[in-house]
């Protein structure tokens, strides 16, 4: 993989990726108006899987090796099935903007897991960053609860962030074998297989739901759920520079803006303050906290 400055086309790909992933949080909230969290996840990832399959027909996505299938199934279960079920159930009570800020704490979980399972060295700046980030996460959770108590939905979104942290560790070795787009496609298909356990009742839910929530779910399946991984893979195939990865930390800012325009919701002032603290902690861990950077392809799952 080359290491050079991104072209204008590369920065356009980053912008599209950020905007699509940011819109996904509002799309979930819109879909939850008429669908259960489980049915939303199933419909979304059927749409994402079909989109990835069409893309695979016209590109050079290689099928996974047989020996990698158990690993891909396990990683797909964690990074797609567990992540999106937890996120969807969490967003029944947590705003789109606050959810995006909580999910953005995933690198903190990844750093802690790398410390204990991969024996990565965490410097004093890393521990300080983790403390700052968790203080921010606590403020977000209390802000969404409307007072000084912890919102259960926020806890579920944090479980989604933890799933992303686990996914980072699982992906680390295999991103040396597969391209980011190939690996994302394999994970989407694997995660969708497990989500099909929740398929019963979905056809009836589609028939009874208004068109707008259904369209929102198909949108987040096709665009944030599939095409954004393709544009991100395009970026990573041309550069591994830190500004490209750093750009992904603007996702919550755009998620708040999109949530305001689409759903007329904005996180509380306490949540926004907590988000600022959480990002400061993540930045500290990523810049000064660890001896080895975690894979850039895994920042968003």
Position of tokens 């989500």?
195
pLDDT at 14: 83
As a whole number of angstroms, the distance between CA 115 and CA 122 comes to 6
- Average pLDDT over every residue of 156-177: 80
Gyration radius from the chain CA atoms = 18
- Average pLDDT over every residue of 7-19: 84
Per-residue model confidence as pLDDT tens digits over 100-138: 888 877 767 767 776 666 666 767 777 787 788 778 777
33 vs 5, more confident: 33
Per-residue model confidence as pLDDT tens digits over 216-234: 999 999 999 999 888 887 7
pLDDT at 127: 75
What the block records as the tokens of 162 is: 């933890």
pLDDT at 238: 65
CA distances from 1 to 171, 240, 241 (A): 17, 8, 11
Position of tokens 């975690």?
294
**Is the alpha carbon torsion for 137, 260, 299, 250 positive or negative?**
negative
pLDDT at 35: 98
Q: Is the pLDDT of residue 6 over 80?
A: no
pLDDT at 146: 55
- Average pLDDT over every residue of 67-87: 93
Q: SS3 sequence, the chain?
A: CCCCCCCHHHHHHHHHHHHHHHHHHHHHHHHCCCCCHHHHHHHHHHHHHHHHHHHHHHCCCCCCCHHHHHHHHHHHHHHHHHHHHHHHHHCCCCCHHHHHHHHCCHHHHHHHHHHHHCCCCECHHHHHHHHHHHHHHHHHHHHHHCCCCCCHHHHHHHHHHHHHHHHHHHHCCHHHCCCHHHHHHHHHHHHHHHHHHHCCCHHHHHHHCCHHHHHHHHHHHHHHHHHHHHHHHHHHCCCCCHHHHHHHHHHHHHHHHHHHHHHCCCCCHHHHHHHHHHHHHHHHHHHHHECCCCCHHHCCC
Q: Any idea where the domains of the chain sit in the sequence?
A: 8-298
Position of tokens 């990074």?
79
Q: Is the pLDDT of residue 1 over 50?
A: no
Q: What residues form DSSP beta bridges with 122?
A: 290
- Mean per-residue pLDDT of the chain: 82
21 vs 119, more confident: 21
Q: Is the pLDDT of residue 243 over 70?
A: no
Which pLDDT band holds residue 293 (cuts at 50, 70, 90)? Answer: low
What the block records as the tokens of 214 is: 């259904």
As a whole number of angstroms, the distance between CA 209 and CA 211 comes to 6
Buried b (16+ CB within 10 A) or exposed e, 82-106: bbbbbbbbbbebbbbbbbbbbbbbb
- Average pLDDT over every residue of 273-297: 67
pLDDT at 212: 96
Which pLDDT band holds residue 69 (cuts at 50, 70, 90)? Answer: very high
pLDDT at 84: 96
- Average pLDDT over every residue of 67-72: 91
């Amino acid at each position: 993989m080359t290491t050079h400055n991104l072209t204008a086309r590369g920065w356009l790909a980053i912008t599209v990726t950020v905007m699509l992933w940011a819109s996904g949080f509002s799309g979930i909230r819109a879909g939850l108006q008429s669908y259960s969290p489980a049915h939303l996840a199933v419909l979304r990832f059927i749409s994402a899987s079909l989109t990835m399959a069409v893309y695979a027909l016209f590109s050079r996505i290689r099928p996974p090796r047989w020996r990698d299938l158990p690993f891909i199934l396990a990683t797909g279960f964690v990074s797609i099935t567990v992540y999106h079920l937890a996120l969807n159930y969490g967003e029944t009570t947590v705003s789109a903007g606050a959810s995006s800020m909580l999910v953005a704490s995933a690198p903190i979980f990844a750093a802690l897991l790398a410390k204990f399972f991969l024996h990565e060295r965490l410097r004093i700046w890393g521990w300080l960053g983790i403390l700052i980030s968790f203080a921010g996460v606590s403020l977000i959770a209390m802000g969404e609860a409307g007072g000084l108590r912890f919102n259960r939905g926020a806890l579920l979104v944090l479980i989604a962030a933890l799933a992303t942290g686990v996914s980072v560790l699982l992906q680390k070795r295999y991103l040396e074998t597969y391209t980011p787009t190939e690996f994302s496609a394999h994970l989407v298909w694997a995660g969708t297989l497990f989500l099909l356990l929740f398929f019963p009742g979905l056809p009836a839910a589609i028939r009874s739901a208004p068109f707008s929530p259904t369209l929102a779910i198909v949108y987040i399946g096709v665009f944030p759920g599939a095409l954004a991984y393709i544009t991100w893979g395009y970026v990573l195939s041309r550069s591994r520079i830190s500004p490209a990865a750093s750009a992904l930390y603007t996702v919550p800012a755009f998620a708040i803006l999109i949530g305001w325009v689409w759903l007329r919701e904005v996180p509380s002032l306490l949540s926004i303050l907590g988000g600022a603290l959480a990002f400061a902690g993540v930045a500290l861990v990523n810049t000064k906290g660890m001896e080895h950077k975690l894979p850039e392809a895994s920042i968003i799952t």
